[in-house]
Amino acid sequence: MGKKTFYTERDIEDLAAQGMTSLPLNDDIVLTDLAREKAERLGITLVKEEARHRDCPLAAPTSALAARVKAAVLTRVGDSVPETLLDEIIARVLAQLDE
């Protein structure tokens, strides 16, 4: 079982300020009730993710870390890099970290 990541209302505000529009959820991510309500009010879509496939390293990144990295990169580069390319790059880096 992985470490749990907890998101509060403040965390959701920070993610929205970074430009995040969706947040992948899995069994290792816990949102407080206020965080869930704040996400809804700010238009952040909460996406229940499927288990990550180790045999498919180029699958779109789904971890909370990947979401944070993607939001930070998008804040810096805007739409100058296609999101699908960014997803592939993040997935490759995370796959190497998991090895």
Higher pLDDT, 47 or 2: 47
Q: Render pLDDT for 30-65 as a digit per residue (tens, 0 to 9).
A: 899 999 999 999 998 888 876 444 444 444 445 677
Rounded Cα distance, 10 and 35, in Å: 7
CB atoms inside a 10 Å sphere around CB 98 = 10
Alpha-carbon span 27 to 40, nearest angstrom: 20
- Domain boundaries in the chain? 5-98
**Confidence at residue 10, expressed as pLDDT on a 0 to 100 scale:** 92
Tell whether pTM > 0.85.
no
pLDDT the model gives residue 63: 66
Cβ atoms 39, 31 nearer than 8 A: yes
Helix, strand, or coil (residue 38): helix
Q: What is the pLDDT of residues 74-99, one digit of tens each?
A: 888 877 878 778 888 888 887 777 65
